[in-house]
Amino acid sequence: MLETDFGFLTWNVVSGFIIKGFIFSIQLTLAAMIGGIALGTVLALMRLSGKKLLVLVAAFYVNTLRSIPLVMVILWFFLLIPLLIGRPMGAELSAIITFTVFEAAYYSEIMRAGIQSVPKGQVYAGYAVGMTYGQTMQLIVLPQAFRNMLPVLLTQTIILFQDTSLVYAIGAYDLLKGFEVAGKNFNRPVEMYLLAAATYFVICFSLSMLVRRLQKKIQIIR
Amino acid sequence: MTVEEKKPDRSPSEATMIEIKNVSKWYGSFQVLTDCSTVIHKGEVVVVCGPSGSGKSTLIKTVNALEPFQKGDIVVNGVSIGDPKTNLPKMRSHVGMVFQNFELFPHLSVTENLTLAQIKVLGRSADEAKTRGLKMLDRVGLMVHKDKFPGQLSGGQQQRVAIARALSMDPIVMLFDEPTSALDPEMVGEVLDVMVLLAKEGMTMMVVTHEMGFAKRVAHRVIFMDHGFIVEDDSKEAFFANPRSERAQQFLTKILHH
Amino acid sequence: MGNWDWQVFCKNTIDGEVMPRCFGSGGDITYLQWMLSAWGWTISVSLLALVVAVVVGSLMGILRTTPSKTLILIGNAWTELFRNIPLLVQIFLWYHVIPSLFLPLQKVPSFLLVVLALGFFTSARIAEQVKAGIESLSKGQRYAGLAIGLTLPQTYRFVLLPMAFRIVIPPLTSESMNIIKNSSVAFAVSISELTMFAMQAQEETSRGIEIYLAVSLLYFVSAFAVNRVALFIENRVQVPGMIGGGK
Give yes or no for residue C146 having a pLDDT over 60.
yes
Which chains does C contact via 3+ CB–CB distances below 8 A? Answer: A, B
Residue numbers of B between 212 and 231 with CB closer than 8 Å to C: none
- Give the residue among B190, B194, B195 at the shortest CA–CA distance from B156: B190
Residue A51 forms part of a structural domain = yes
Q: Residue A122: its pLDDT value, please?
A: 84
Strand segments, DSSP code E, in chain A are none
Specify if C190 maps to a domain.
Answer: yes
Residues B18-75 have pLDDT tens digits of 999 999 999 988 999 999 999 999 999 999 999 988 999 999 999 988 899 999 999 9
CB-CB: which of C84, C97, C223 is closest to A205? C84
Nearest by CB to C85, from A76, A166, A201: name it: A201
Classify residue C247: in a domain, yes or no.
Answer: no
In a domain, A166, yes or no: yes
Instruction: With beta carbons under 8 A apart, name residues in chain A contacting C81.
Output: 201
Residue C242 covered by a domain:
no
B120 vs C contacts (CB less than 8 Å)? 150, 154, 158
Subunits with 3+ Cβ pairs within 8 Å of B are C
Weakest mean pLDDT among A172-176, B84-88, B169-173, C106-110: C106-110
Q: Is A6 part of the contact surface with chain C (CB cutoff 8 Å)?
A: no
Separation in Å, CA of C138 to nearest CA in chain B: 8
Domain range spanning residue C104?
A: 6-237
What is the ipTM metric for this complex?
0.90
A197 and C101 in contact by Cβ < 8 A? no
Chain C residues in contact with A76 by the CB 8 A cut-off are 212, 216
Residue C173 lies in a domain: yes
Residue C154, CB half-sphere, CA atoms under 13 Å: how many?
Answer: 18
> Chain C residue closest to A63 (CA)?
C220
Whole-model pTM over 0.80: yes
Q: Is residue C246 part of a domain?
A: no
Residue in chain A closest to C199 (alpha carbons) equals: A75
CATH code, domain with C230: 1.10.3720.10
Residue B22 is inside which H or E element, if any?
strand B16-27
Whether residue B4 is predicted with pLDDT greater than 70 in this model: the reply is: no
Q: How far apart are CA B46 and CA B97, in angstroms?
A: 14
CATH of the domain at A131: 1.10.3720.10
Classify residue C84 by its DSSP letter.
Answer: S
Q: Given the DSSP bridges, would you call strands B221-226 and B45-49 parallel, antiparallel or unpaired?
A: parallel
A3 inside domain:
no
Asked if C212 reaches chain A (Cβ–Cβ under 8 Å), the answer is yes
- Which pLDDT score, from 0 to 100, does residue C245 have? 38
Q: Give residue A3's pLDDT.
A: 62
- pLDDT band at residue C200, thresholds of 50, 70 and 90? confident
* Residue C66 forms part of a structural domain: yes
In angstroms, the separation between the Cα of residue C177 and the nearest Cα of chain B is: 27
What distance in Å separates residue B112's CA from the closest CA in chain C? Answer: 11
Chains C and A touch (3+ CB pairs under 8 A): yes
Domain membership flag for residue C180: yes
Amino acid at C175: E
> What is the reported pLDDT for A56?
95
Q: Do chains A and B touch (3 or more CB pairs under 8 A)?
A: no
Residue of C nearest to A160 (CA): C86
Structure confidence at residue A191 (pLDDT): 85
Measured between alpha carbons, how far is A122 from A137 in angstroms, rounded to an integer?
10
Residue type for position A188: R
Of C138, C158, C242, the CB nearest to B120: C158
Give the total number of structural domains in chain A. 1
Mean predicted lDDT score pLDDT of chain C: 87
pLDDT at residue number A156: 94
> What integer pLDDT is reported at residue B3 of this predicted model?
42
| Banded model confidence at residue B11, pLDDT cuts 50, 70, 90 | low
CA dihedral (A147, A152, A156, A161) in degrees, to 10, reads 70
User: Which residue has better confidence, B39 or C96?
Assistant: B39
pLDDT value at position C51? 95
pLDDT in tens, C226-238: 888 888 888 888 8
C147 pLDDT above the threshold of 60: yes
What residues of chain C, 134 to 163, have a C-beta less than 8 Å from chain B? 138, 140-141, 143-151, 154, 158-159, 162-163
Residue A6 forms part of a structural domain: no
- Looking at beta carbons, which residues of chain B come within 8 Å of C148? 92-93, 97, 116-117, 121, 165-166, 169
- Residue C54, in any domain of the structure: yes
Cα atoms in the 13 Å half-sphere on the side-chain side of A69: 33
User: Structural domain tally of chain C?
Assistant: 1
* Integer Rg of chain A from CA: 21
Q: How far apart are CA C179 and CA C96, in angstroms?
A: 22
Tell me what pLDDT residue B45 has.
Answer: 95
* Nearest CB to C96; choose among A70, A83, A190: A190
Q: Enumerate the H helices of chain B as residue ranges.
A: 56-63, 88-93, 110-120, 126-139, 155-167, 185-200, 212-218, 236-241, 246-256
SS3 B47: strand
Owning domain of residue A178: 11-221
A119–chain C Cβ distance below 8 A for any pair: no
Q: What is the DSSP letter of B95?
A: E
Q: Do the chains contact at C216 and A163, CB–CB below 8 Å?
A: no
CA distances from A70 to A105, B57, C77 (A): 12, 53, 28
pLDDT at A2 over 60: no
Q: Return the pLDDT at B5.
A: 41
Nearest CA in chain A to C194: A72
How many C-beta atoms lie closer than 10 Å to residue C193's C-beta? 26
Chain B contact for C73 (CB, 8 A cutoff)? no
